[in-house]
Amino acid sequence: MAKRTISNIGFSIMLILMISIVSGCSTARVHSTVDDNEAPMVSATVVVRPESWRPESERRGWGGVEFGYEHQSGDAGQDLKTNEYVAYDFNSHFNGPQSIHHRASIDHGHVAYNRLFSFGSYFQLEPSLGIAHDSIAIETKGVVTDVSSAQSLGPRTIHYRQSVTGITGGMIPRWNFNRFFAVEVPVRIGVGFASREDSLSSLSSRNNGITELINPTIVFRPVDNVSLGVGYAVRSQYVETSLDESNLDLDFQGFSAALRVTF
């Protein structure tokens, strides 16, 4: 019995050592991460509210169609540890250990049904729901390694694009101080399917994108149907790509400027 116990212990130790050796030699694909707290955002929104859609009571909400656009960009470095790599295709990797640099931009557009609820003259709620398309461009600089030969290709810049199409929902609580000034906190959440711009990916659970945006804003209205806003935009955007590509993990924060026109 004692010999069997010693034998089992020895086998367990050997198994642990083998797993440790294999783990130490394995490589891990990591997310392409861009975390920038000085990433500015500009946006423009046009809302069309037909007079025929005006309700008898403001609390029932006045419907309309919303067209929205956002642009936000940022850049950041990313440190890759030994046995970590970032890949945008199967043929070449940014292998660690090294420091790589990303520059990423997001162009977002949507068309949504919008409804305005007024609760007295000082508080409003403005929900929206519609279809969105995000175009994401990322430029990464670093030392690239050829996968087939395991040879370094030297410093390179790789340009990579992803698109996300899906559903977006938003909510704007607004506090009106008077007819000229207000404070609002637009919140938007989007989910969709991701695809390469050069070849459509299969619509599977592995190709998806998630966006969260919050944008506290001070608003000035020089005229009733035009508003100008300045604030701070916080965006978290995650895109899960195909099996041989790194996922995109974008966290942008920065100054925001907005134009809004209502017809």
- Is residue 83's pLDDT more than 50? yes
Distance of CA 181 to the CA centre of its chain: 30
119 versus 21: which is more confidently predicted? 119
Domains and CATH numbers, the chain: 29-262 (2.40.128)
Yes or no: say if 42 and 71 are a contact pair by the CB < 8 Å rule.
yes
For residue 62, what are the contacts with CB-CB under 8 A and spacing of at least 6? 49, 53, 54, 55, 115, 116
Give the per-residue pLDDT at 148.
86
Give the per-residue pLDDT at 196.
62
> 180-209 burial, b for 16+ CB within 10 Å, e for fewer?
eebebebebebebbbbbeeeebeeeeebbb
Query: Residue 20 and residue 37: Cα distance in Å, rounded?
Result: 38
Give the per-residue pLDDT at 197.
54
What is the 3-state composition of the chain as percent helix, strand, coil, each rounded to the nearest 5? 10, 65, 25
Burial of 260 (0-12, 13-18, 19+ CB in 10 A): buried
pLDDT for 44-76, tens place per residue?
A: 999 999 999 988 776 688 999 999 999 999 999
Using 50, 70 and 90 to split pLDDT, how confident is the model at 7? very low
- Please state whether beta strands 181-184 and 41-48 pair in parallel, antiparallel, or not at all (unpaired): unpaired
- Is residue 146's pLDDT more than 50? yes
How much is the pTM?
0.83
- Is residue 99's pLDDT more than 80? yes
pLDDT for 198-218, tens place per residue?
A: 444 444 445 789 999 999 999
